[in-house]
A and B are shown apart, each in its own frame.
Chain A
């Protein structure tokens, strides 16, 4: 095959990929290597107060959500109202990991849109994100009272996904509301 055919091959591959992109329907859960394992340990300053730190230990004791977000992330803005709704119903404690963001922008975002988080960790350089296997924002982890990751969702959270994937995995305390 001559080398002048390669552009054609590359474009065909891209086109197939784009067709699949248009086609794909049913969102599936991500088989995360973290599921069933203790959440990776971390210790980070909180977003609003750099003096105070927050870590995996803070989250233990109850079911909790760990939501990875950033101000540059469009879909985070989309899921934000739902997080606020969960927080308002006190459905579950929500912790944030503000990922690769500017502190100023992030605080402003919470001031503007409301703050659903009990606290947000400020992961400026994305190190903790790597430990947690974060691909991008938003991602949401469900932790059980022992601090084990029992579910991970990629992309914005909404009521349907919450009911189907999260509520069903929690027993007892987490569902009380």
Chain B
């Protein structure tokens, strides 16, 4: 009964989404306030019914209702409650429902917080979001219904993929999706502005906070996914350039470009058409990512079950959305050419370069992701081009980006006097180069060109990011100090610096070693002694495991005891590696069990990962920067007042 209620709620929300699209768009066109008003109400109703559907599916999981096909395939009686909830979005149908729920939630937020916007503009935004909802609801109802029944119901379910039975992965998809879906708001703002033809700087100001929030969540979601891959897959890597990872990374890169481009449009009224194009692209790449992941067109470690009808549906939807948006763009953008100029040495120039480099990086990732597809179509073989290509290709635009980032922050809008600029930057530049040599040499005892470049670049970003906040701290009285949005920028860039140093050090000085080990034996890796005390059998709720107790000693002194496990999940009979990690800000010591070699001997993978935490810490700090930036008064005060005074 409950699943039918969910199904019915989903159909009702489709009907409401149709109202949410037609009434406000027609109303805005005719200037009919009553029709426009329907948009907000319909959006609220749509959210309510999607939430009911989502709750029904969650209920089916919690009560282990195996007469629902999706539940039977992805849950099991003995599954811990947390994972019964996260199993709701553990596979295609449910994750699509989560996507729809989040889209409805974003729409609701826009409807609630758009009171300061002109009525017709807000109505168009809600209408466009409604159109996107229609697409996804139809997708769910026509090809991927999570409420399909399975009669007769099996006694027990097929269990959630053991890889997904992890707290990190339970919250990774929601964070990632909030980011993905959030770009639909920037998209809707862009479309609404293009429909109305009223493309002044206010549009950029309204869009900025929404875009930043979406970007923050995407940053956190990607970082969490990378962290999960590190400790759960047992390989100790943190990024694999897998097609699905790339699918989330491309919108992030374009979203980052969009944030920077929006700054120029808001402050200076420049790059208008370019900003619009980025807003369209960010969301289109989210859709493309969905298509790549869910159509099975590209082979990936975490691809969803494949089904060509799903592929065709998303592709059609993608085509309608993107072609529609770009036709509108081709029509409106030519009127946006700005005659405002800027000097060669100006913040505008640096932000333009930022955009170009980020777009190039995205294009390289896109090419790398689609290249196997090209080869497959021409020859029929499925191949992968792999990390070696990406690592090199990606570094090419990223290095100049990092160097320019430090300069751009200290460059004025319009035009900057070169001598004053050089006075600010010359000391940081020298210090960065010195640190680039000193950091690897002093702490790790080895230096190479790549290390100097990596550490120097990281030091460069960190120093240049800190100049402004420190200055404003020093002169506490008198001057107004730094604005929240400038502080947010500095913090986000600082995060980038932490990320770069983490990547540099861990790739240069990380040590991996595979060895055979049995109880009573010790091995030494990277100066640490790993001593296997013993092996024991442990039982979890739905798995049994072999657990090793391993003591880590440094110069005879006990650092920590870690307990890596090799788990066998009872239903799917699959083996999972649960690494034992001694985590620290300066280094991680990572122990994972490989295979049983003899009676008691195990192959053990031991890794020494210096500064690897800085990779995720950097992402966290970047997101924090975003949070600080959106708390700026400029956005909170609401655009109503600014309009009144304008």
Binding site for B on A (CB under 8 A): 2, 4-5, 7-8, 11-12, 15, 17-22, 24, 26-30, 70, 72-75, 78, 100, 104, 107-108, 111-112, 126, 135-139, 153-156
Contacts and interface: CB of A to CB of B under 8 A. Distances in A.
Interface string B490-522: 000000000000000000000011100000000
11 contacts: A4-B330, A15-B323, A18-B297, A24-B376, A28-B380, A70-B386, A73-B384, A104-B514, A108-B514, A154-B380, A155-B380
B388 A100 contact: yes
Nearest to B312: A22
B387 interface: yes
Contact of A18 (B277, B315, B327, B512): B315
A112 B304 CA distance: 25
Nearest to A155: B381
B372 interface: yes
Contacts of A74: 242, 299-301, 384
A2 B329 CA distance: 11
Given A7-B330, A8-B330, 8 more contacts: A17-B373, A18-B297, A20-B377, A24-B377, A74-B242, A75-B383, A100-B386, A137-B386
Contacts of A17: 370, 373-374, 377
Interface of B: 240, 242, 273, 277, 280, 284, 291, 295, 297, 299-301, 308, 311-312, 315, 318-319, 322-323, 326-327, 329-330, 333-334, 370-377, 379-388, 512-514, 594-595, 603, 605
Contacts of B375: 135-136, 154
B388 A27 contact: no
Closest 3 CB pairs of A and B: A154-B381, A27-B380, A155-B381
Contacts, number: 127
A59 to B, nearest CB: 22
Nearest to B242: A74
A4 B323 contact: no
Nearest to B373: A21
A139 B384 contact: no
B326 A11 contact: yes
B383 A112 contact: no
Most buried by B among A2, A18, A107: A18
Given A30-B381, A72-B240, A4 B299 contact: no
A15 B326 CA distance: 13
Contacts of B295: 22
Contacts of B595: 111-112
Contacts of B376: 21, 24, 155
Contacts of B387: 72
Given A21-B373, A74-B299, A154-B375, A11 B323 contact: yes
Given A22-B297, A111-B595, A111-B603, A11 B322 contact: yes
A166 to B, nearest CB: 14
B380 A4 contact: no
A28 B380 CA distance: 5
Nearest to A27: B380
Nearest to A1: B330
B359 to A, nearest CB: 12
B379 A154 contact: yes
Contact of B323 (A8, A27, A156): A8
Contacts of B370: 17
B315 A15 contact: yes
A21 B291 CA distance: 12
Contacts of B311: 22
A75 B330 contact: no
A18 B371 CA distance: 12
Contacts of A100: 386, 388
Contact of A4 (B312, B329, B374, B384): B329
Contact of A12 (B323, B329, B377): B323
B379 A30 contact: yes
A73 B604 CA distance: 23
A108 to B, nearest CB: 5
Contacts of A136: 371-372, 375, 383-386
Contacts of B371: 136
B382 A156 contact: yes
Contacts of B297: 18, 21-22
Contacts of B388: 72, 100, 126
A20 B242 CA distance: 22
A126 B322 CA distance: 39
Contacts of A30: 379-381
Nearest to A153: B381
B188 to A, nearest CB: 18
Contacts of B273: 4
Contacts of A22: 295, 297, 308, 311-312, 315
Contacts of B513: 104
Given A18-B315, A112-B595, A136-B372, A73 B603 contact: no
Nearest to B318: A15
B506 to A, nearest CB: 15
B597 to A, nearest CB: 9
Nearest to B603: A111
A75 B381 CA distance: 10
Nearest to B331: A4
A21 B603 CA distance: 42
A141 to B, nearest CB: 13
Given A136-B384, A139-B381, A7 B329 contact: yes
A165 B209 CA distance: 58
A136 B385 CA distance: 5
Contacts of B308: 22
Nearest to B605: A108
A24 B298 CA distance: 13
A5 to B, nearest CB: 5
Contact of B380 (A5, A26, A111, A138): A26
A137 B403 CA distance: 35
Most buried by B among A26, A29, A72: A72
A21 B327 CA distance: 24
A12 B373 CA distance: 17
B384 A75 contact: yes
Contacts of B312: 22
Given A22-B312, A28-B380, A154-B375, A7 B386 contact: no
B273 to A, nearest CB: 7
Contacts of A139: 381, 383
A142 to B, nearest CB: 14
A87 to B, nearest CB: 19
Contact of A155 (B291, B382, B603): B382
Contacts of B315: 15, 18-19, 22
